Structure 1
Amino acid sequence: MNSNVNRWQVLIASTAVLLCTGAVYAFSVFAGPLSVQKGWSMAEIMLAFTINAAIGPVPMIFGGFLTDRGLAKWAIIIGGLLFGLGFFLTGFVTSTAMLYVTYGLIGGFGQGLAYSGCLSNTIKLFPDKKGLASGIITAGMGGAAIVAAPIGNYFIENKDVFYAFRLLGIAYVVVIVIASFFIKTAPANYLPNGWTPPQTHGGTKMINKNWKQMLQTPYFYLIFFMLCTGAFSGLMIASNASVIGQQMFGLSAGTAAFYVSLYSLSNCAGRVLWGTVSDKFGRNKTLNIILSVIIIALIVLTVLSSQVGFAFGIIALGLCFGGVMGVFPPVVMENYGPVNQGVNYGIVFVGYSTAAFFAPKVAVNMAAANNGSFTNAFYVAIIVACIGLLLNIIYSQLKKAEANKVVEA
């Protein structure tokens, strides 16, 4: 089905929304000042980030349900406004319980709902460029901290952390309202002009499957744990980048905030870069490279104690975290079709939330037990990445075996 929907306009507007909701990746800039101003421990504060990320599957699946039924715009608007509200209300918290509700639950639900609607709706408009579209749209999430980190740090230093939350929350609401006017729902069975969809993928016929059918395939469980292992190191760094820079590499708060922005920029670029690469060379080959680079970057962080080592680790891990988040949406669509992409990817996204639950806690607890050193946490992340690499190899071999059976038949 062809339509006069301006898909690039939808892509840009949706990316603008995620440039707001992706501010969660700048949390490490806010965590330290929160601890100093309120006397809360880093473990208590980091639980808010964990809740924000771990709640993701609920709004992701709900948003996918709405998107698959032509209500993507509502999912995006409601989710975006909830996120802005959660950020704004965090500027008034007086206890960790309130922080968990505003930043964790309200912000997390809003973020997941908007992310699901933006991603699933946009990728349906780009069946011919799934990797590129997924990379650009998720780059909004990855790139948000480029803006949020320095602005947040500026207002923290000149006012306080709660003022920063309130101001950013208002700004996000304004941007999301404006962007919503340019977002259109993807028509059913949309086809770009002049493009004919392939009848097969990897030698197997493309079949649309719902979430129940998806759960009956062995690929689901491999994809699920591959996403979990791929996102683990990225989430560990995203939630602790500023703290790692200050405690292990002796950086000032301002310099550490710069590196948070650099990580976010790398995260943003990685989603477009690896999404485009995966369109050309395949998802499996791309994931093999990404996971290998993650392992190398973590080794560098454990061996080099200089700012150069920190910079290399931040850039490499940011690029790779972005790659993981950009590659998996098309992996799910290619296995289970576009019709139920919203709900299907929402369920697979539980793998991301599982990593989000464990990665920050592992990092903070190990650092607390080792005088602020995250070295042991890096070792754990290396092992997790190696497991992901092994799973991807198994997945690739199963796909090749399936394709060979089709050819022989």
Structure 2
Amino acid sequence: MEEIMITKVNRWQILIASTAVLLCTGAIYAFSVFAGPLSATKNWSMGEVMTAFAINSAIGPIPMILGGFLTDRGLAKWTITIGGLMFGLGFFLSGMANTTTMLYLTYGVLGGLGQGLAYSGCLSNTIKLFPDKKGLASGIITAGMGGAAIIAAPIGNYLIQTHDVSYAFRVLGIFYMAVVVTASLFIKKAPVGFQPAGWTPPTVKGNPKGNNKNWRDMLKTPNFYLIFLMMFTGAFSGLMIASNASAIGQQMFHLSASTAAFYVSLYSLSNCCGRVFWGIISDRLGRNQALNMIFGAVIAAFIMLVAFSSSLGFAAGIIVLGLCFGGVMGVFPPLVMENYGPVNQGVNYGIIFCGYSAAAFFAPKVAISLATSHQGNFTQAFYVAICVAGIGILLNIVYLQLKKKVMKASIN
């Protein structure tokens, strides 16, 4: 009975539908389009407005872990649908907010919880359907999340220009809920132990029963702390640029506001493409080899930003950094699964994702603080990012050595 069910699962259909959901929930990264108009029309300060985005980001690990818990228990369809509808409703209600408190509850709390549930469900469920192409599947799924702003930003801006920001929130919220409901019709839970036709899973040396571990067992392994810290170091540079790209372009490279905005979109596009690109590379070369290349490219990109003052140097630097940030988001989900198995992937990755949240808290603050103390120059922040990437390489080397030692012990 299980084999019949497994062979009838259309994993590519589920992948496409899940990506469609994340193309909606990823609109949180287009908040800068709404922030200015909100401040102007509601007479709120930019600090008050941006607090909504900060709340949305800060609560990320909570729904990620909860969504992973539900997905691991076969409730992926409901997790994704409920999360997506919560996000859409949060967006719609943000268009009715007349106080900052209501904005914080709608966009910050409701939207943040919904986004995290949907993201966790889509990612954890879909990657279980691609044991043979984990990097590719993870890359495509996370590309939906990362690339959503490319679509949402111009549409949101058009609706704001033709009507107002509240109208834009309401229309997009309704549209997102409609897409989520439609996509949910094609999403099914990943069958336990799913194997695509013609693929034989590799044996786990020294552990014939497999390598599935729950979160408690995961926390007992030294690999967990290395992977957690590598997630932090990998996301650090990308989040630093994502939150300050426009300011860096204008203050250091003397770009106009409109030109800087174009480069922000270019960064988002690179981020989106990098998730698929590095996912494929990691499938072929291995996760850790891909991470070494990503960290090395990050260092090279920041050196370019320090050494060249032309717009071409800025463009090259942020394209590489966007690709690498996307790579981090595409490589870590399969890395976690390979260490701790697919059964508890949802919860396990949700916990590892706290490393990303920690980077989201520190990276923008470090960049702004150093730039403010150096008259708007981000060079010192770039040096910090280079050091952080270097630490990432060292952590990866330690991880590989530990992995070799465990494999050698299992053979003996």
One fold, TM greater than 0.5? Answer: yes
Task: Render the CA deviation track for 1:367-409: whole Å, top value 9, x for unaligned.
Answer: 44444443333333222222212111111111112122223x1
Q: Are 1:210 and 2:214 counterparts?
A: yes
Q: Are 1:143 and 2:116 counterparts?
A: no
Q: Tell me how far apart the structure 2 counterparts of residues 160 and 302 of structure 1 sit (CA, whole Å).
A: 40
Equivalent position of 1:401 in the other structure: 405
Q: Tell me how far apart the structure 2 counterparts of residues 123 and 367 of structure 1 sit (CA, whole Å).
A: 40
Equivalent position of 1:121 in the other structure: 125
The one of the two structures with greater contact order (alpha-carbon pairs below 8 A, sep at least 6) is 1
Q: Tell me how far apart the structure 2 counterparts of residues 104 and 111 of structure 1 sit (CA, whole Å).
A: 10
Q: Tell me how far apart the structure 2 counterparts of residues 243 and 30 of structure 1 sit (CA, whole Å).
A: 17
Task: Render the CA deviation track for 1:224-243: whole Å, top value 9, x for unaligned.
Answer: 11101111121222233334
Q: Tell me how far apart the structure 2 counterparts of residues 286 and 341 of structure 1 sit (CA, whole Å).
A: 21
Amino acid at match of 1:313: G
Equivalent position of 2:30 in the other structure: 26
Q: Tell me how far apart the structure 2 counterparts of residues 399 and 170 of structure 1 sit (CA, whole Å).
A: 48
Q: Tell me how far apart the structure 2 counterparts of residues 271 and 130 of structure 1 sit (CA, whole Å).
A: 12
CA pair 308-150 structure 1, distance change in 2 beyond 3 A:
farther
Deviation at 1:122, TM superposition (A): 0.2
Aligned with residue 182 of structure 1, among 186, 203, 214? 186
Instruction: Calculate percent identity across the aligned residue pairs.
Output: 72
Amino acid at match of 1:76: I
Q: Which runs of 5+ in 1 are unaligned?
A: none
Secondary structure, counterpart of 1:208 in structure 2: coil
Aligned with residue 380 of structure 2, among 376, 384, 391? 376
CA pair 246-341 structure 1, distance change in 2 beyond 3 A:
same
Point out the more displaced range, 109-118 or 173-182.
Answer: 173-182
CA pair 247-297 structure 1, distance change in 2 beyond 3 A:
same
Q: Tell me how far apart the structure 1 counterparts of residues 317 and 169 of structure 2 sit (CA, whole Å).
A: 28
Q: Are 1:343 and 2:347 counterparts?
A: yes
CA pair 101-324 structure 1, distance change in 2 beyond 3 A:
same
Whether the 8 Å CA contact 1:230–1:321 is kept in 2: the answer is yes
Q: Tell me how far apart the structure 2 counterparts of residues 105 and 11 of structure 1 sit (CA, whole Å).
A: 27
CA pair 102-384 structure 1, distance change in 2 beyond 3 A:
farther
Secondary structure, counterpart of 1:184 in structure 2: coil
Aligned with residue 390 of structure 1, among 386, 394, 409? 394
Amino acid at match of 1:402: V
CA pair 276-224 structure 1, distance change in 2 beyond 3 A:
same
Q: Are 1:316 and 2:320 counterparts?
A: yes
Task: Render the CA deviation track for 1:275-297: whole Å, top value 9, x for unaligned.
Answer: 11111111111001101111222
Q: Tell me how far apart the structure 2 counterparts of residues 17 and 361 of structure 1 sit (CA, whole Å).
A: 31
Q: Which runs of 5+ in 2 are unaligned?
A: none
Query: RMSD of aligned C-alpha atoms?
Result: 2.2
Equivalent position of 1:298 in the other structure: 302
Secondary structure, counterpart of 2:196 in structure 1: coil
Whether the 8 Å CA contact 1:43–1:364 is kept in 2: the answer is no
Alignment of 1:3-402 (within 5 A): 3-38=7-42, 40-200=44-204, 206-402=210-406
Amino acid at match of 1:197: P
Deviation at 1:82, TM superposition (A): 1.2
Deviation at 1:121, TM superposition (A): 0.4
CA pair 294-31 structure 1, distance change in 2 beyond 3 A:
farther
Q: Tell me how far apart the structure 1 counterparts of residues 340 and 224 of structure 2 sit (CA, whole Å).
A: 10
Point out the more displaced range, 382-391 or 345-354.
Answer: 382-391
Task: Render the CA deviation track for 1:2-55: whole Å, top value 9, x for unaligned.
Answer: 330100000000011111111222233334444455565554444333322221
Point out the more displaced range, 369-378 or 385-394.
Answer: 369-378
Deviation at 1:168, TM superposition (A): 2.3
Question: Scaled by the length of structure 2, what TM-score is found?
Answer: 0.92
Q: Tell me how far apart the structure 1 counterparts of residues 18 and 99 of structure 2 sit (CA, whole Å).
A: 34
Q: Tell me how far apart the structure 2 counterparts of residues 311 and 37 of structure 1 sit (CA, whole Å).
A: 33
Amino acid at match of 1:290: I
Whether the 8 Å CA contact 1:25–1:239 is kept in 2: the answer is no
Task: Render the CA deviation track for 1:119-144: whole Å, top value 9, x for unaligned.
Answer: 01000111111111111111101111
Q: Tell me how far apart the structure 2 counterparts of residues 66 and 83 of structure 1 sit (CA, whole Å).
A: 18
